[in-house]
Amino acid sequence: MKKSTLILSIVLFASIVTVLYMAVDRYTYRSYSPNLEDQVILGEMTMMVLDNKQYQDIASKETVYSIQQGVSRFNAGDPSSMANYEVSVVTNRQSYVFTCVDRTCTDVSNGTWTYSRYLENGPVLPLDIDE
């Protein structure tokens, strides 16, 4: 095999690998990132979470550091399903994940609990600094 053919083959292989990596990376990003329509739905869900009795009980007992909105289309059979939207309330003890209770999202409910980064780390913002 000529040297120029070998170099051309390596460049072609590298470009194919790069394009495949970028395609998978983009697909994964789109699967977990809300678009403009998703942001409107998640905004309304966040307001429903703030009015929810479960949230108010959590906020009265724990320090709420953030409320994160998310969408997951990766393993869902119906990408437009309301079951893909979630609002996480992150406290000093754990994260509470709120999702819709039905297909029309008439209400939200806390169905899952996960680890909170604030158990081992402090707030990202300098919230405790006295002026």
**pLDDT tens per residue across span 20-69:** 999 888 877 776 777 888 889 899 999 999 999 999 999 999 999 999 99
By three-state DSSP, how is residue 71 classified? Answer: strand
**pLDDT tens per residue across span 80-112:** 565 678 999 999 899 999 998 888 889 999 988
| Residue 38, Cβ density class (10 Å: 0-12 exposed, 13-18 middle, ≥19 buried) | middle
- Within 10 Å of residue 10's Cβ, how many Cβ atoms? 10
Tell whether the model's pLDDT for residue 3 goes beyond 90.
Answer: no
Rounded to an integer, the average pLDDT of 6-12 is 91
| Residue 71, Cβ density class (10 Å: 0-12 exposed, 13-18 middle, ≥19 buried) | buried
Would you list the domain boundaries of the chain?
A: 1-32, 33-119
